[in-house]
Amino acid sequence: MDLVLVLVIQVLFAMASLALISVGLAVIFGMMRVINLAHGEFLMLGGYSAIFATQHGINLWISMLVVAPVVVGAIGVLVERTLIRFLYGRMIDTMLATWGLSLFLIGLITGIFGNTTVGISAPLGGMAIGNYRTSIYSLVVIAITVVLLVAMYLVLRYTRLGLFARGTMQNPDMAAALGLSPPRVYAVTFGIGAALSGLAGALIAPISGVFPTIGIAYIAKAFITVIGGGAAILSGTVTASALFGAIQEVGTYFTTPVFGVVITLAAAIVLIRLLPQGITGRFLKRWL
Amino acid sequence: MMLKVRDLHAAYGRIPVLYGVTFSVAEGQFVGVLGHNGMGKTSLLRALMGFLPVAGGTVVLDQADITDWPAYRRSRAGIGYVPQGRDIFPNLSVLDNLRMGCAKVDGNDAPVIDSVLEDFPRLKRLLDRLGGALSGGEQQLLAIARCLCGKPDLLLLDEPTEGIQPSIIDEIIELLERLKQSRRLTVVLVEQNLDFIAALSDRILLIQKGRITREVSPGSLKDPDLVGEFVGVER
Ligand SMILES: Nc1ncnc2c1ncn2[C@@H]1O[C@H](COP(=O)(O)OP(=O)(O)O)[C@@H](O)[C@H]1O
Ligand SMILES: [Mg+2]
């Protein structure tokens, strides 16, 4: 029984962290059809922002939940204004530009912080479940992810800002004819996507540590989640992370962590073969 | 609101589509632009709205030269646009489509929508439906209502009768008549439906191959010979 509970927590944690690292990418891709190859580096910058802030005496939770998203969100707006906005509708150019940005950011951070792993120890310690132990922090990450996704749903569904975002996503010219400035909507959206990535990078920093090339470890997982999820930003992210998170954890349990990832990637290939438009391209079409 | 278009040129890439369009619309006037398929009616409205880059000429709205303004700024300056094909947001409810129409209205949008819906009894029963699930006629009414939510002074209407059953066409004529009076709108309507354009317009301009070729009175459209001579549109 205790083992089952521990396993359930592990599976939920895998789902939550997958959703966390993907949701910023999903927002940017879903809203603007921009494939952001620097997504992994936004996660990395979130981790460094949080660690840098804690090292300078700021409370760990504030560093993770406030400093990281604000810093990376601001970087996102800067990147959108100086780079991305010239490339809308040109997918290959955007991919090349964001790839270049990713290399630049890795080089920049290596120059500043060195090519070493820095870490913060996970707060809150552990908790006994029968004969097993689980970290309280992973429960907190699960809870934060749920709160975040629910909040995003409420904003998109019930606020004017969310409505404008959805409308602009469906038909930017018509939105402009009604008086909204699509470039402004895009800048805000890109900033929000980057902020979400910064938050995710900060929340996983205590678990994995941070180093300049850590983005590479996450970007493939984030992309299969977004592509597997399909057009609907939230329900796509939730269903794909639930599916792939479960497959990965179960695979890991019966084999090894490396094989767990291999099995997940294989499952993603099968899924995209069966549903080229992703899960929400076929199901839950009307969802957010 | 007064509109002055002078020697407007526009092209799709290298292919020209407007070859020097000149006309003006006085405040409160309802001007019809009549022309065949492919004569450049939609392109003209897209250029006026800022979606088709202008290669030459000027567009002046009241005193402001808006030739280089982006679409959202023209919209905020008081131009409302009801495009051909209607461009309803398919995955938004009817109510949310109207709320999108209120994007340039500050503060609470509910009273604005309520007052617009007074003129659209048909839409009141459809508020929860998805925009994409409406019939063509209902979508046309919604597109007009959505546009009015932004309180435009100048309305650009692109073929509101296209693909719509005759009963709703009559309803739209009545509606526009009423709105013209009650909201003191200035209107540019492009159409190929003669009865519709004749019923509503104060002045009618003919557009041929990207140029305004002449102006006729709404009354003269009742004479089939003249009509054949002017535009070759069969009745
Ligand atoms: N997106 C486009 N790209 C290239 N040519 C176009 C495009 N849209 C329209 N045209 C051409 O421009 C001309 C005018 O079209 P349009 O303005 O749609 O006419 P109308 O609305 O009077 O039917 C036509 O010859 C049409 O083929
Ligand atoms: Mg047309």
Q: What is the CATH number of domain B3-84+152-231?
A: 3.40.50.300
CB atoms within 10 A of CB B184: 11
Q: Do B100 and A178 touch (CB under 8 A)?
A: yes
Q: Which residues line ligand 1 (CB under 6 A)?
A: B 12, 15, 17, 35, 37-43
Interface of B with A in 106-125 (CB under 8 A): 109
Strands B15-25 and B3-12: antiparallel
What is the percent of chain B with per-residue pLDDT over 70, rounded to a whole number? 94
What confidence score (pLDDT) does residue B231 get? 55
End-to-end Cα distance, chain B: 33
Mean pLDDT, rounded, for B122-143? 93
What confidence score (pLDDT) does residue B217 get? 82
CB B1 within 8 A of CB B62: yes
Least confident of A19-23, B140-144, B165-169: B165-169
Instruction: Considering every ligand atom shown, identify the ligand nearest to the alpha carbon of residue B33 and give its number.
Output: 1
Phi, psi of B97 (to 5 degrees): -60, -45
Residue partners of A164: CB distance under 8 A and separation at least 6: A175, A180, A185, B100, B103
Structure confidence by residue, pLDDT tens digits, A97-123: 999 999 999 999 999 988 888 877 777
Q: At residue B144, what is the residue type?
A: I
Q: Do B72 and A160 touch (CB under 8 A)?
A: no
What confidence score (pLDDT) does residue A124 get? 75
DSSP letter at A64? I
- Of the candidates A170, A173, A179, the beta carbon closest to that of B103 is on A179
What confidence score (pLDDT) does residue A148 get? 95
Mean pLDDT, rounded, for B80-102? 95
Q: Which residue has the higher pLDDT, B220 or B75?
A: B75
Q: Which residues pair with B151 in a beta bridge?
A: none
What confidence score (pLDDT) does residue B165 get? 85
CA–CA separation, A103 and A99 (whole Å): 6
* Domain locations in chain B as residue ranges: 3-84+152-231
CA–CA separation, B38 and B190 (whole Å): 12
Could you tell me the two tokens for B199? Answer: 């019923």
CB B9 within 8 A of CB B56: yes
Half-sphere exposure of A256 (CA within 13 A, CB side): 2
Quick one: which H or E segment has residue B85?
none
Task: Check whether A284 has a pLDDT greater than 80.
Answer: no
What is the percent of chain A with per-residue pLDDT over 90, rounded to a whole number? 53
Rounded mean pLDDT of chain B? 90
What's the pTM? 0.86
Q: Alpha carbon A73 to chain centroid distance? A: 13
Structure confidence by residue, pLDDT tens digits, B194-234: 889 988 999 999 999 899 988 888 877 777 666 666 555 44
Q: Alpha carbon A250 to chain centroid distance? A: 22
Burial of A275 (0-12, 13-18, 19+ CB in 10 A): middle
Helices A182-208 and A160-170: crossing angle in degrees, nearest 10, is: 110
CA–CA separation, A205 and A121 (whole Å): 9
Strands (E), chain A: 126-129, 132-135
